[in-house]
Amino acid sequence: MNLTPPRDIQFRAGALKYLGKKATSLGMKKPLIVSDPAMSRLGFSQKVSEVLDGAGLTSALFDGCQENPAEPQVAGAAAVYADEGCDGFVTLGGGSAMDVAKGARILAQHGGSILDYDVSTGGMKKIAPGLPPLMALPTTAGSGSEATLGTVIIDPDRNIKVLIFSPHLAVDSVVLDPELTKSLPPAVTAATGLDALVHALEAYTAPGYNPLADGLCKTSIELIGKSLARAVAQGDDLAARGDMMIAALSAGIAFASKGLGAVHALSHQLSSYHRLPHGLANAIMLPHVMRFNSEAVGDKYVEAAEMLGYEVDSAEEAAQALAGLTAQLGLPTTLSAAGLSPDDLEQMAADAYRDAALGGNPVKCGQEQLLEMYQQAM
Ligand SMILES: [Fe+2]
């Protein structure tokens, strides 16, 4: 059993003010702020820069992160880091900004392309301790990337998501400020919140003895049941936003230890082939994977649905409740409603079968069965 939570977590509304002090304590004098265009448009990138200024630090900005980040974005962030003479990273954004910063952090120390560090080709051994410091300021509540030891980057030539993983990738300090998630639109709040829920469910049902991680999964599921719908309906509800940040963090710590499962193996291909938002892809695939896994872990699905506030008697009813939750939050529940055609399901199933996330699924799952789940989800 193992559990690797971030070394330092600050949580409260207004916690952004701790950023300068934390960055200084990590030895940063000029961090690179890694962010996305929306954060700059909303003035958050500038605000972070001002907070750092106030603590006597300078900073540089890379705000080119996009959903489902690909290799060129990591190279771009690493280039700005080198050109500006930076000495650490502050991520401001959702999972994409954190994934890009984690990748650029490796390149800042070891050089090359981020695809050289693919865990499936022995890349983990190439990442040594002593990477530049990394702080995370999540602005969504979903990916849990602030708590994980991996980053997922698209290889644009092969159209697949590549996992890079190392114990040395741990974020040094996480600042959770619910104020930063207030402006998140309802659809993004829903999709990212469902991503957190899928993390909790997949980690909870993944094989392996880890009651500590299982406890974090339950905490996450309960908080999501209590607060996701409220965070979607009323974006400025800071208590709901705060619950969702803790839910995402808890699930992130849990799945970093226990792994994920078939939902993520399937959803990764939907995002790399069709750029479907990650949380939405998970939400659509979830009920189908639940039905497939039900004989092995049906009781846990019933328990999880009850923690979310549903009265269910079977895994099938739990799967229906979860599909209903996605619909209730205003998201499509089928791949065709999300705009996909069934043209490349076979190739996606082949890639899902090779996806690293599949290893955590509680039931062994073949390529043919993955294809059937895509077909059921159409
Ligand atoms: Fe995820």
Q: Which residues pair with 92 in a beta bridge?
A: 137
The helix or strand, by DSSP H or E, that contains position 51, with its residue range, turns out to be helix 44-54
pLDDT at 67: 87
Q: Cα(55) to centroid of ligand 1, in Å?
A: 34
CB neighbour list of residue 147: distance below 8 Å, 6 or more residues apart: 5, 6, 171, 174, 249, 252, 253, 256
pLDDT at 183: 86
Cα–Cα nearest to 335, from 315, 321, 349: 349
Residue 75 pLDDT exceeds 90: yes
pLDDT at 261: 98
CATH code given to domain 9-180: 3.40.50.1970
Q: Cα(76) to centroid of ligand 1, in Å?
A: 24
Tokens at residue 231, please?
A: 């965070």
Q: Cα(203) to centroid of ligand 1, in Å?
A: 11
Q: Cα(199) to centroid of ligand 1, in Å?
A: 6
% the chain with pLDDT above 70 = 100
Q: Cα(96) to centroid of ligand 1, in Å?
A: 11
First and final C-alpha spacing in the chain: 38
Q: What is the mean pLDDT of the chain?
A: 96
Q: Cα(195) to centroid of ligand 1, in Å?
A: 5
Task: Pick the range with the lowest mean pLDDT from 81-85, 283-287, 342-346.
Answer: 342-346
Q: Using alpha carbons, list the distances in angstroms from residue 358 to 16, 32, 248, 317, 337.
A: 36, 34, 21, 24, 25
How far apart are alpha carbons 72 and 65 in whole angstroms? 10
245-264: b or e for each residue (b if 16 or more CB lie within 10 Å)? bbbbbbbbbbbbbbbbbbbb
How far apart are alpha carbons 360 and 206 in whole angstroms? 5
pLDDT digit string, tens, across residues 49-62: 999 999 999 999 99
How far apart are alpha carbons 352 and 373 in whole angstroms? 11
Q: Which amino acid is at 224?
A: I
- Alpha carbon 328 to its chain centroid, in Å, reads 22
The domain segmentation of the chain, as residue ranges, is: 9-180, 184-377
Q: Cα(279) to centroid of ligand 1, in Å?
A: 6
Average pLDDT of the segment spanning 144-160: 92
Q: Cα(357) to centroid of ligand 1, in Å?
A: 10
Average pLDDT of the segment spanning 258-267: 97
CB neighbour list of residue 38: distance below 8 Å, 6 or more residues apart: none
Q: Using alpha carbons, list the distances in angstroms from residue 148 to 33, 121, 235.
A: 19, 20, 26
pLDDT digit string, tens, across residues 305-358: 999 999 999 999 999 999 999 999 999 999 999 999 888 999 999 999 999 899
172-186: b or e for each residue (b if 16 or more CB lie within 10 Å)? bbbbbbbbbbbebee
CATH of 184-377, one of 3.40.50.2000, 1.10.3720.10, 3.40.50.2300, 1.20.1090.10: 1.20.1090.10
Average pLDDT of the segment spanning 265-290: 95
Average pLDDT of the segment spanning 74-103: 97
Beta strands in 49-101 (DSSP E): 60-62, 88-93
Q: Cα(97) to centroid of ligand 1, in Å?
A: 14
How far apart are alpha carbons 5 and 2 in whole angstroms? 10
Domains 9-180 and 184-377 in one fold: no
Residue 68 pLDDT exceeds 90: no
Residue 161 pLDDT exceeds 90: no
Q: What is the per-residue DSSP string for 292-361?
A: HHHHHHHHHHHHHHHHTT---SSHHHHHHHHHHHHHHTT---STTTTT--STTHHHHHHHHHH-GGGGG-
Residue 210 pLDDT exceeds 90: yes
Task: Pick the range with the lowest mean pLDDT from 86-95, 153-162, 301-310, 331-340.
Answer: 153-162
Residue 154 pLDDT exceeds 90: yes
Average pLDDT of the segment spanning 356-373: 96
DSSP secondary-structure letter at 139? S
Residue 295 pLDDT exceeds 90: yes
**C-beta separation of 202 from 264 below 8 A:** yes
Q: Cα(25) to centroid of ligand 1, in Å?
A: 31
Q: Which residues pair with 176 in a beta bridge?
A: 11
pLDDT at 114: 98
- pLDDT range class, residue 282, cuts 50, 70, 90: very high
Residue 160 pLDDT exceeds 90: no
- pLDDT range class, residue 296, cuts 50, 70, 90: very high
Q: Cα(271) to centroid of ligand 1, in Å?
A: 11
Q: Cα(266) to centroid of ligand 1, in Å?
A: 11
**C-beta separation of 193 from 231 below 8 A:** yes
Average pLDDT of the segment spanning 98-121: 96
Q: Cα(54) to centroid of ligand 1, in Å?
A: 35
pLDDT at 343: 87
